[in-house]
Structure formats: structure tokens, C-alpha cells
Amino acid sequence: MGKVVLGVSVGVAVAACAVAALVVGRRVKSRRKWNRVVGVLKELEESCETTVGRLRQVVDAMAVEMHAGLASEGGSKLKMLLTFVDNLPSGSEKGIFYALDLGGTNFRVLRVELGGQRSDLDPDVEQQPIPEQLMTGRSEDLFDFIASSLYQFVEKGNDSVQSLVTKELGFTFSFPVKQTSVSSGVLIKWTKAFAIKDMVGKEVAGALQQALTRKGLNMRVAVLQVNDTVGTIALGHYHDEDTVAAVIIGTGTNACYWERTDAIIKCQGLLTTSGSMVVNMEWGHFWSSHLPRTSYDIELDAESPNPNDQGFEKMISGMYLGDIVRRVILRMSEESDIFGPVSSRLYMPFALRTPAMAAMHEDDSPELMEVARILKDVLDIPDIPLKARKLVVKICDVVTRRAARLAAAGIVGILKKIGRDGSGGITGGRSRSDVKMRRTAVAVEGSLYTQYTMFREYLHEALHEILGEDIARHVVINVTEDGSGIGAALLAASHSSSGSVDNIQLV
Ligand code: ADP
Ligand code: MG
């Protein structure tokens, strides 16, 4: 009997030990897995490192590439396109001006009335879809349709359609165009849903002008604007005459700035009354070996429809940030089970959009309930522990911080190129303290900047770090809204044939 008891108790003890060993074993295994995930995070942090030293290298590289792009066609990844915009609205413009914004499936018509004293802008705007058949038909039909809509818009606004005074129009046309003057350019190719064969290689503003004339509308296409950054600098300058550059940080990213024509070496003999011109950088294409690149960026680029292109944009803009985060979560999920079984959604490109990523990043609830909700609803990852949710927030933080700091370096690169970074320009020489810094404004537009507080704060912080407080306090960022529409109308005003002469009699 005693033997049996002994036997049983030994059995129980052995079983208990086995259970304990199993538990400990699991714990060790899970700690090992957790360590692996932490390792992935650490590696991400290291490869996204943006020390001030590194950012300054990016600043220098940006300024150097700008030089190269201005020196010769194809001299840099930065295209540095001429816009022929040689004056910017000052706020003293008076009269009624129109804009037409064509760039997607909708087009917009706008009217602004300017009172001459940097008046508040309160445009009338109308948006209309473009009938599908017109996007692939004949150019004449498309432009006749647009002219008719504009005619009705002018009429509805109690402006005389057959007025003896020519109305001035800014035409925003967001397609690849070879600009030939401030009011003309040739269509290189259609993009998005458009495919009107007879238009390729033709002059765009001319085609619209002819349609306006056919319609009997006394209106002149004063400005052809092929990039929305140009409208943004115009709008920025209307409100703040110290504006020297404009940056868009939304789905994509781009910048333009005010450059002296004698610095545009690739276009010798370029004469403008102001001696300057807006240059569209197409900075999304910028590339430098100083950019902190991760394996996720390399994969994202390789799987994109345009590999080896838009490198800067792929690290910064709203189109991509969410997808970088998805890739990191996928790697972690594959290397451990802290996110449960690997969710098939994690393999879907762009399954995690930047606004959802921003919402996780900015979740300030103690239990990170918003993170839990988004992981579940968007990525099909339910019920993960709090520490894993914290990890996700950290990933978002690393990716966004890098993006915002690189955007800040890009901005300082522009300031350096035009001698507004306090260093005495790209050729240097003078010390920071010798230079009297002029107030300098940069117009910024785009939802990534305006809607994503953490992004905005990181960008500002980096500007201060790179420039130093003494210089940074002379640099202001002004948010603008709808440069592509209102900016075009303002450019029509500043490029109108009557200059800023009072043509208020149009009313
Ligand atoms: P677009 O660049 O398409 O002209 P926007 O400037 O509005 O238009 O930018 C839209 C992009 O901004 C979205 O594609 C998205 O990536 C990003 N975005 C929009 N809202 C937010 C948000 N709340 N948080 C973070 N990013 C956002
Ligand atoms: Mg936009």
C-alpha cells in the first residue's frame, strides 16, 4: 500500500516538474520571441536614424542637387522645371479673377474678387464631374464642355459674359506638360483616366482659349499652371510677401521656390522683369546616399510600379508611410507570434493607409483601444497584448519621425540654396553670426502636414535643430489651402494684361 502511495506521489511530483518545465520553457521561448521582435524594432530605429548631423548632410545634398538640376537638363534627379512665373501676387491686386482646375475626374471653376489690400479670399467654387466619354474622345469636345461650364458659372455669378473687359483666367492643368511660357505648354502625355489622342503634343492653353472664343466668352488664359506647388507659393506670397518657397506634403510631396534667373544656368539669357522665376523642383525624385534607408524602403520600392524613382517621396509622403509600417508589422508577425497567426491582410500592399496609421500613433487612451480597434478592423489582428500595441505605436513613431525630419531637411536645403539658412549660401564662407537673417516664409499645404499633428511637430522640431534657434526664429511656416485653385486665380491677377490696375468695373 505504502509503495503504491509512494509511487503515486512520485508520479505527481514528476508530472508537476514536467508542467513547470513546460511553463518555464514556454516563457523562455516567448521571451526569446519577444526579444526577436524588440530586435526588429531596434534595427528599424537604427536604420531610420536622423541625427542632426545626418540631416545636415541631406540639406547639403539637396542644395547641391538643386544646383546640378539648374546647371543642365538631366544634370540631377531634381528636374528643376521652369514655370515662367516671374511675379507673385502681392496682395494689391484688384478685380475679379477666375481659375479652372483640371486634374482628375472632376474639374473645378473658381472666382475670387480681390479688393487690393491683401483682402480675405472667399472664392466661389463649383465642382463638376467630367463625363466619362469626354475623357477619351476628341479634345475639342472636352474643351467645349469646359468652356460651356465656365460660361454658365460666369453668368450665374452676375458677371457679364460678353463684357468688353477681358476676364483673366488661371488654368491649372495637372498633367505632364512641357511649359513654353507662363501661359502655354505642350501636353507630353495623359495620365489618370484621360486618353485623348489628338491632344498629345498640342498646346494646352491654346486649345482652351479657342474653345472660350468659340463660346463667345471674353476671357484670356493668363496663366497655365501645371503644378499645384506654384499655386501654393502664389497663395502664400499673397498673404505673406516674405514667402520664398512652397511645399506640398499630402498623398505625394513636391516643392517649388523663387530663384534668380541668373542661377538658372541651363537656360541662358532668360530675362524676366523681376529677375527671378518660380522653379518647380519635383523634389519627390530627390535621392542621396545620406538618406537613411531601411530594408522596408527597398522592398517597397522594388514592388512599386516605379522602382528607383521618387525615392524621397517614398520616405515622406502620405501615400507610403502606412505601407512602411505594414511591412514592419509583417516582419515582426513572421518572426514571432506576438500578433497571433500571421494575418493575410498583412501581405496586402497598402492595406494600412496613412490616416489609420496616424490614428494609432496618436491614440492617447491608456489601454490603446484605438490601436486595438484598427489592428482588428484594418489588419485583422485581434486581441494582442498591450505591450504589442505599444510596439505598434512605436513603429508608427519611428516611421513618421523620419519622414517629417527629412521633409524639414529638404526645406532647409532650399533655404540654403537661396542663402536663407543663415550660412551665407551654398558657397558658404561667412559664419552664421555674421549673417543678418531676413524673415523667411515657406507656404505649406497638404493633409499629412495639416492633419497629422505628430508629423507637423517633428517637422518643426527638426527645422529648429538644423537651423539653430537664432536662425529658426526668422523662418515661418504658413499653412495655405487650395493653392491649386485659388493660387491659379491669384496668378491670373498678377499676370493679367492690366497688371494690378483696377478692373473692378467688371462687376
Ligand atoms: P492630395 O495630396 O491627394 O492632393 P491631401 O493634401 O488632402 O490631398 O493629402 C491627402 C493625403 O494625406 C492622404 O492620402 C493621406 O496619406 C494623408 N492624410 C490625410 N488625412 C490624414 C490624417 N488624418 N493623418 C495622416 N495622414 C493623413
Ligand atoms: Mg493636393
Please enumerate, as own/partner, the contacts of 272-278 that have beta carbons within 8 Å and a separation of 24 or more.
272/86, 273/86, 273/87, 274/86, 274/87, 276/86, 277/82, 277/83, 277/84, 277/85, 277/86, 278/83, 278/85, 278/86, 278/88, 278/230, 278/233
Mean pLDDT computed over 432-455: 89
- The pLDDT value recorded for residue 11 is 55
pLDDT in tens, 341-356: 999 999 999 999 999 9
- pTM of the shown model: 0.91
Measured by CA distance, the residue closest to atom 13 of ligand 1 is: 251
Do residues 184 and 224 touch, judged by C-beta distance below 8 A? yes
**Which of 411, 388, 413, 392 has its CA nearest to residue 458?**
411
* Percent of the chain topping pLDDT 90: 82
Which ligand has its closest atom nearest to the C-alpha of 485? 2
**C-alpha span between 475 and 131 (Å, rounded):** 45
Confidence of residue 30 (pLDDT cuts 50, 70, 90): confident
Cα–Cα distance list, 59 to 63, 408, 418, 453, 478 (Å) = 6, 9, 12, 23, 21
Q: 251: Cβ below 6 Å to ligand 1?
A: yes
**C-alpha span between 270 and 376 (Å, rounded):** 58
Active-site residue identified among 86, 228, 323, 363: 228
Confidence check: pLDDT of 12 > 70: no
As a residue count, the chain comes to 507
**C-alpha span between 278 and 234 (Å, rounded):** 10
Confidence check: pLDDT of 3 > 60: no
Which ligand has its closest atom nearest to the C-alpha of 404? 1
- Please give the biggest Cα pair distance in the chain: 120
Confidence check: pLDDT of 303 > 60: yes
Measured by CA distance, the residue closest to atom 6 of ligand 1 is: 446
pLDDT in tens, 473-507: 999 999 999 999 999 999 999 999 764 433 322 22
Q: Closest ligand 1 atom, CA of 445?
A: 6
Q: 450: Cβ below 6 Å to ligand 1?
A: no
CA of 198 to the centre of ligand 1 (A): 34
Active-site residue identified among 42, 192, 197, 390: 192
pLDDT in tens, 388-404: 999 999 999 999 999 99
Q: 279: Cβ below 6 Å to ligand 1?
A: no
In one-letter notation, the amino acid at residue 333 is: S
Residue 496: helix, strand or coil by DSSP? coil
3 included as an active-site residue: no
φ/ψ of 488, rounded to 5, equals: -65, -40
- The pLDDT value recorded for residue 451 is 98
CA of 173 to the centre of ligand 2 (A): 13
Higher pLDDT, 467 or 28: 467
Q: DSSP letter at 75?
A: S
Mean pLDDT computed over 256-265: 96
**C-alpha span between 414 and 259 (Å, rounded):** 10
User: Residue 330 CB: number of other CB atoms within 10 A?
Assistant: 22
Q: 452: Cβ below 6 Å to ligand 1?
A: yes
pLDDT in tens, 179-208: 999 999 999 999 989 999 999 999 999 999
Mean pLDDT of the chain: 91
Do residues 416 and 63 touch, judged by C-beta distance below 8 A? yes
Higher pLDDT, 442 or 11: 442
Element (H, E) at 314: helix 311-316
Confidence check: pLDDT of 436 > 90: no
Mean pLDDT computed over 240-261: 97
* Percent of the chain topping pLDDT 70: 90
Least confident segment among 35-39, 290-294, 422-426: 422-426
CA of 451 to the centre of ligand 1 (A): 7
Least confident segment among 23-32, 153-162, 404-413, 443-452: 23-32
Cα–Cα distance list, 228 to 34, 95, 252, 383 (Å) = 46, 23, 11, 44
Do residues 167 and 219 touch, judged by C-beta distance below 8 A? yes
Higher pLDDT, 260 or 268: 260
> Nearest 5°: CA angle at 314, between 340 and 48?
65
Which of 105, 254, 352, 354 has most ligand 1 atoms within 8 Å of its beta carbon, as the pocket-test mutant? 354
Cα–Cα distance list, 213 to 162, 165, 180, 314, 491 (Å) = 11, 14, 22, 43, 21
Please provide the distance, in angstroms rounded to a whole number, between the alpha carbons at the two ends of the chain.
114
Residue 108: helix, strand or coil by DSSP? strand
CA of 233 to the centre of ligand 2 (A): 13
Q: 104: Cβ below 6 Å to ligand 1?
A: no
Do residues 376 and 334 touch, judged by C-beta distance below 8 A? no
178 included as an active-site residue: no
pLDDT in tens, 68-79: 999 999 999 999
The grid coordinates listed for 502 are 483696377
Least confident segment among 212-221, 252-261, 265-274, 323-332: 265-274
Contacts of 114 (CB under 8 A, 6+ apart): 93, 94, 95, 96, 97, 121, 490, 493
Which of 247, 451, 456 has most ligand 1 atoms within 8 Å of its beta carbon, as the pocket-test mutant? 451
